[in-house]
């Protein structure tokens, strides 16, 4: 199974160590699925985890460890052709990763834009709770 965890899900995994996003990240580390990422997401994660509101909730070393794990264990898709799919153009790279990485699932907490699309090509768009239930986590 090939999965994209939206940046908001990765950050939530750091903030709530007992929640579905964290359980999904642990499942990735346990080789339960292949994580798909790309340079744009890595840049976004690095930027977001430096925001003062986020830094006040997580230690920078936690974000660094997560980023190192993603860089070393995930499939990094490069040279993406970004389609215009989402109502928020900043999310379009997720759909480019889904296409190029042949993702089965795109996991997001973005209820107003990404989740409303439900599906993109072969990729089903779900919440962390939904995928955690599917994986019986």
pLDDT digits (tens, 9 = 90+) for 26-83: 999 999 999 999 999 999 999 999 999 999 999 999 999 999 999 999 999 987 666 6
Q: pLDDT tens digit string along 74-114?
A: 999 987 666 666 566 577 889 899 999 999 999 999 876 77
CATH number at residue 99: 3.40.50.1010
State how many domains the chain has: 1
Domain span including residue 65: 2-134
Q: pLDDT tens digit string along 4-17?
A: 999 999 999 999 99
pLDDT given for residue 116 in this prediction: 72
CA 78 from centroid of its chain's CA atoms:
16
User: What is the residue whose two structure tokens read 């699309």?
Assistant: 117
Q: How many helices (H) and strands (E) does the chain have?
A: 7, 6
First to last CA, the chain: 15
Which tokens go with 123? 């990729």
């Amino acid at each position: 199974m090939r999965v994209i965890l939206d940046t908001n899900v990765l950050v939530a995994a750091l903030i709530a160590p007992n929640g579905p996003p964290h359980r999904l990240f642990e499942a990735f580390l346990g080789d339960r699925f292949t994580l798909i990422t790309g340079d744009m997401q890595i840049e976004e994660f690095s930027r977001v985890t430096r925001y003062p509101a986020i830094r006040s909730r997580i230690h920078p070393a936690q974000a660094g460890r997560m980023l190192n794990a993603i860089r070393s264990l995930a499939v990094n898709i490069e040279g993406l052709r970004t389609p215009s799919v989402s109502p928020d153009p900043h999310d379009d790279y997720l759909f480019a990763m889904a296409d190029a990485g042949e993702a089965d699932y795109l996991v997001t907490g973005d209820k107003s834009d990404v989740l409303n699309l439900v599906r993109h090509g072969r990729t089903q768009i779900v919440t962390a709770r939904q995928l955690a239930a599917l994986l019986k986590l």
